[in-house]
Structure 1
Amino acid sequence: MDSHGKISFTWKEDVFELIVEDEFNEEGIDVNVPVLKQSVLNKAPKNWKRIEMWDQKVLGSPETIKKCQSIWNWFTIKGCTKTAFVVSNNIQVQVLEKYADKNSGIFLDIEKAYKWLQE
């Protein structure tokens, strides 16, 4: 099956910024995860934060979400202390309320998300 979903990213000091686009399938996660992990390993921060900005289309199957949880857990093991998810709709909010960990915040406003990350 073809890979679906796209993630672009950058580091701004100790914040790993991810822009997440389109609907994901498992193959899409499998393509993106090694690149994300390598960026974390190359940066080698001790304590860092993450912000994921999701467009309107971002969703995935339960299997895809489980793969996302796996990379989210890996990020925590590698020093991520807080994650802000900036979402576009209530379905995304409901998914994250169920699957994101206790060190995550869910926001509809990017400015509020950045403010929360700095608290």
Structure 2
Amino acid sequence: MSFVDIGALEDIPAQGARVVRTKLGCVAVFRTADDRVFALADRCAHKGGPLSEGIVHGHKVTCPLHNWVFSLETGQAQGADAGQVQTFAAKVEAGRVLLDAAQLTTESAA
């Protein structure tokens, strides 16, 4: 797998997100309270709300529009809600956040 550096971990607030714009769509990169990073397509499966503006709690994010809750690990909606958003491989090395370059160029993020 080939990874691309998208910035420093410290540039993403704990329990927050940043958006990476690709020619295939926007990817929301989340940082949890335990400094893990996850990347999801930045569109809720329900109404297309910006997940990057949602509330991060544990390893989940709540959509700001209709309160759907998604797993940051799998992209799957939680509870009675049915739906899933695309996930992207992400990791941290030496304080830098890396995303799978192949996924960003071959898979639609939105």
TM-score tier by shorter-chain length is 0.3 to 0.5
* TM-score for both structures, normalised by structure 2: 0.33
* TM-score for both structures, normalised by structure 1: 0.32
Q: Which has the higher helix share?
A: 1
Higher relative contact order (CA 8 A, sep 6+): 2
